Amino acid sequence: MLEILIATNNLGKVKEIKDILDSPEIKIITMKDFPHLPKIEEDGKTYQENAFKKAREISEYTGKICLADDSGLEIDYLKGKPGIYSSRWGNSDEERINKVLNLLENIPINKRNAKFVCVVVLVFPDGKIYTVKEECKGSITFSPKGEYGFGYDPIFLVPGYNKTFAELGDKIKNKISHRGKAMRRMVEIIKEISV
């Protein structure tokens, strides 16, 4: 069994990752178990750079196998923004959502295409690194809908369901989301290397 430290303080992400990584091969520990960890500045220019930096630095500090993700919302009309700055586009989920909706005000539905991107990096103390990238395509709604999830979930409309991530609930969201797909691929890698 591998003990893996999830390198995030985002409680929504922790819950989502724990739900997806639920496997007998994996024991999850969180940053709450290490209250004196340094704050990692996400100053990379890509999702991969940010995820790798978080995983590597936390792994070096704790001596643990460390998993980190960096993800973001890329809106076509906004030329890929907010992208790697998704979590820093405001001080709260509500503020970030309102910023997106204001920027897309009066933009028709056919020009509101977007995708979520997630890069997951697993770093071992001995230097081994595994990386996975996944996406989930959709569009941006005209107003928030739904009560589940976190972040931009209430305004991300999923094709085929005609509902936002926040309306779908965790079980369905985790099956189809960018993070869900990336984490399942990482579980397969973990199973292969655990043999």
Q: Is the peptide bond prior to 82 cis by the omega test (within 30 degrees of 0)?
A: yes
Whole-number Å distance between alpha carbons of 121 and 69: 6
Decide if 85 contacts 50 (C-beta within 8 A). Answer: no
Decide if 19 contacts 170 (C-beta within 8 A). Answer: yes
Taking residue 158's Cβ as centre, other Cβ atoms within 10 Å add up to: 21
Residue type at position 48: Q
Q: Which of 19, 70, 93, 170 is catalytic?
A: 70
Whole-number Å distance between alpha carbons of 179 and 183: 6
Q: Clarify whether 22 is annotated catalytic.
A: no
Catalytic residues: 70
